């Protein structure tokens, strides 16, 4: 099997398992307990937070451990919006880009349906990029009140397009609006220093970089008010109550540190392999279309549409041939609806339903991608014959 679905998940790294194992066994204390076991756990949690802060270039107190990227997105968007409007009832608008993850889309819909916020969508061009000028114009159009929070993802999970996040953050800052970014897919591939990015809040997920499923991280810039979503004992400085998952926090910190250490070399190597893969695929399937920006894209993502096919049919044929990839976002699996991302980019429904995404692990080999490209050509040809 050749696994080319790393944007969906990655295996847990051995170093991560070894780092977290003591906190699942003999060092099992509750970090809120005032005895030796509890203090060991509290120390490990603090060290994990410091490791993550080093990777992001922020203060440890600006980080909250969550159950994953989805919870981090929910806490950022809902928490900041509710707190800002409570302080100023005129801040009644929420802006999100047209290519956001469902965690952001559904959080915005909750704010609209339950709390009466006005949700506005920032459009993208045919390569899934947000124009800073268009974003600025939307921030300034105050007919429905001021903007409480905006959210634009760093790198798209379906087509791999990378936004000019510093430029967008500068636009938001000039308007006095907090900008959150879902950086789940960026981790391990793109710079994460929050100062250079300029964001107010940023979400990460552990299982995309070699930590277990079920742990994430939210950065919220110091001084930014937000409402907690989970209430109880006041853990995570009151931002997320509940006994902290020390083992998983250690796992995330270890995985993030390792990912950062190898990021630049991996990005250079995999970008070159991605270019060869795209060239081989489009050279043998000229009717195929690369989706997303041709150059401003994640190093490890190559996504296509093959008109006249069914993405699901090609996906099943590829799996039969030992190639594992995706027909889009794993978070939308089982849906017959075309990708909302591709629709926002202007793809017709029938073409959008032919989408395939290949996302490479950091250790992918050239021979694996050459084999995958060959099998993709054969799979598309077979589906076209049978259709």
**46 and 118 assigned to the same domain:** yes
Express each pLDDT in 197-256 by its tens digit. 999 999 999 999 999 999 999 999 999 999 999 999 999 999 999 999 999 999 999 999
**279 and 163 assigned to the same domain:** no
Residue burial 215-232, b: 16+ Cβ < 10 Å; e: rest: bbbbbbbeebebbbbeee
> Taking Cα atoms as reference points, which of 30, 27, 64 lies closest to residue 221?
64
pLDDT at 143 over 80: no
Q: Which two tokens stand for residue 386?
A: 């049978």
What is the distance between the alpha carbons of residues 62 and 19, in angstroms, rounded to a whole number? 23
Express each pLDDT in 163-183 by its tens digit. 999 999 999 999 999 999 999
**Model pLDDT, residue 349:** 93
**Which residue stretches of the chain are H helix?**
14-20, 36-56, 69-87, 102-115, 132-140, 165-174, 194-197, 246-284, 311-320, 340-344, 349-352, 366-386
For residues 326 and 312, the answer to whether their CB atoms sit within 8 Å is: no
Q: How confident is the model at residue 27 (pLDDT cuts 50, 70, 90)?
A: very high
What is the distance between the alpha carbons of residues 378 and 22, in angstroms, rounded to a whole number? 48
**21 and 147 assigned to the same domain:** yes
Boundary residue ending a domain (258, 281, 297): 258
What is the distance between the alpha carbons of residues 310 and 315, in angstroms, rounded to a whole number? 8
**302 and 233 assigned to the same domain:** no
For residues 331 and 86, the answer to whether their CB atoms sit within 8 Å is: no
**Model pLDDT, residue 141:** 79
**273 and 195 assigned to the same domain:** no
Boundary residue ending a domain (230, 258, 286): 258
> Taking Cα atoms as reference points, which of 316, 333, 336 lies closest to residue 386?
316
What is the distance between the alpha carbons of residues 347 and 128, in angstroms, rounded to a whole number? 11
**268 and 289 assigned to the same domain:** yes
What is the distance between the alpha carbons of residues 312 and 328, in angstroms, rounded to a whole number? 10
**248 and 271 assigned to the same domain:** no
**240 and 274 assigned to the same domain:** no
Q: Which two tokens stand for residue 11?
A: 């295996």
**Model pLDDT, residue 142:** 65
Which residues fall within 8 angstroms of residue 143, CB to CB, at 6 or more apart? none
Q: CA 74, 78, 80, 81 torsion: positive or negative? A: positive
**Model pLDDT, residue 328:** 67
Q: What are phi and psi of 199, to 5 degrees?
A: -80, 155
**Model pLDDT, residue 29:** 95
Number of C-beta neighbours around residue 138 at 10 A: 19
Query: Considering the chain, what percentage of its residues have pLDDT values greater than 70?
Result: 97
Boundary residue ending a domain (226, 258, 290): 258
What is the distance between the alpha carbons of residues 319 and 4, in angstroms, rounded to a whole number? 11
What is the distance between the alpha carbons of residues 368 and 373, in angstroms, rounded to a whole number? 9
Global pTM reads 0.95
Q: Which two tokens stand for residue 296?
A: 């401003």
Express each pLDDT in 58-115 by its tens digit. 999 999 999 999 999 999 999 999 999 999 999 999 999 999 999 999 999 999 999 9
**Helix (H, G, I), strand (E, B), or coil: what is residue 169?**
helix
Q: What is the CATH number of the domain that holds 352?
A: 3.90.1150.10
Domain span including residue 185: 14-258
Q: Which residues are catalytic?
A: 331
What is the distance between the alpha carbons of residues 81 and 224, in angstroms, rounded to a whole number? 11
**377 and 304 assigned to the same domain:** yes
Q: Which two tokens stand for residue 162?
A: 């990378």
Average pLDDT of every residue of the chain: 95
Which residues fall within 8 angstroms of residue 213, CB to CB, at 6 or more apart? 9, 68, 206, 207
For residues 209 and 11, the answer to whether their CB atoms sit within 8 Å is: no
> Taking Cα atoms as reference points, which of 180, 173, 176 lies closest to residue 150?
180
**Model pLDDT, residue 305:** 96
What is the distance between the alpha carbons of residues 229 and 116, in angstroms, rounded to a whole number? 18
Number of C-beta neighbours around residue 86 at 10 A: 12
**170 and 50 assigned to the same domain:** yes
pLDDT at 54 over 50: yes
Number of C-beta neighbours around residue 175 at 10 A: 17
**Model pLDDT, residue 138:** 96
**253 and 269 assigned to the same domain:** no
**Model pLDDT, residue 144:** 64
Q: What is the CATH number of the domain that holds 236?
A: 3.40.640.10
Q: How confident is the model at residue 385 (pLDDT cuts 50, 70, 90)?
A: confident
Rounded mean pLDDT, 29-37:
94
**302 and 231 assigned to the same domain:** no
Query: Considering the chain, what percentage of its residues have pLDDT values greater than 90?
Result: 93
What is the distance between the alpha carbons of residues 214 and 206, in angstroms, rounded to a whole number? 7
Report how many domains make up the chain: 2
**Model pLDDT, residue 330:** 46
In this structure, what is the dihedral angle of CA atoms 24, 27, 31, 35, given to the nearest 10 degrees? 150
Q: How confident is the model at residue 367 (pLDDT cuts 50, 70, 90)?
A: very high
pLDDT at 331 over 90: no
């Amino acid at each position: 099997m050749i696994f080319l679905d790393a944007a969906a998940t990655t295996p847990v790294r051995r170093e991560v398992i070894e780092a977290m194992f003591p906190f699942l066994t003999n060092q099992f204390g509750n970090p809120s307990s005032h005895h030796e076991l509890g203090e060991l756990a509290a120390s490990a949690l603090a060290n994990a937070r410091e490791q993550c802060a080093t990777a992001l270039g922020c203060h440890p107190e600006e980080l909250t451990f969550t159950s994953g990227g989805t919870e981090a997105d929910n806490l950022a968007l809902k928490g900041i919006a509710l707190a800002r409007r409570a302080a100023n009832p005129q801040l009644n608008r929420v802006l999100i880009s047209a290519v956001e993850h469902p965690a952001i889309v559904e959080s915005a819909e909750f704010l609209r349906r339950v709390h009466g916020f006005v949700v506005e969508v920032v459009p993208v061009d045919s390569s899934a990029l947000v124009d800073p000028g268009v974003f600025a114009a939307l921030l300034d159009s105050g007919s429905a009140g001021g903007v409480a929070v905006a959210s634009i993802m760093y790198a798209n999970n379906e087509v791999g397009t990378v936004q000019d996040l510093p430029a967008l953050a500068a636009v938001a800052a000039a308007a006095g609006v907090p900008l959150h970014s879902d950086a789940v897919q960026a981790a391990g591939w793109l710079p994460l220093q929050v100062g250079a990015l300029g964001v107010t809040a940023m979400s990460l997920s552990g299982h995309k970089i070699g930590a277990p499923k079920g742990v994430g991280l939210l950065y919220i810039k110091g001084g930014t008010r937000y409402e907690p979503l989970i209430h109880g004992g006041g853990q995570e400085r009151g931002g997320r109550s509940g006994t902290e998952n020390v083992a998983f926090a250690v796992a995330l910190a270890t995985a993030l540190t390792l990912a950062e250490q190898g990021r630049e070399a991996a990005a250079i190597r995999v970008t070159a392999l991605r270019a060869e893969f795209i060239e081989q695929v489009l050279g043998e399937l000229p009717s195929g279309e690369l989706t997303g920006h041709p150059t401003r894209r994640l190093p490890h993502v190559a996504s296509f549409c093959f008109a006249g096919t069914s993405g699901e049919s090609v996906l099943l044929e590829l799996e039969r041939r030992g190639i594992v990839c995706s027909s889009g976002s794993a978070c939308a699996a089982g849906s017959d609806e075309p990708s909302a991302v591709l629709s926002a980019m202007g793809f017709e429904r029938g073409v959008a339903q032919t989408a395939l995404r290949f996302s490479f692990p950091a250790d992918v080999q050239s021979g694996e991608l050459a084999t995958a490209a060959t099998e993709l050509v054969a799979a598309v040809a077979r589906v076209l014959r049978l259709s």
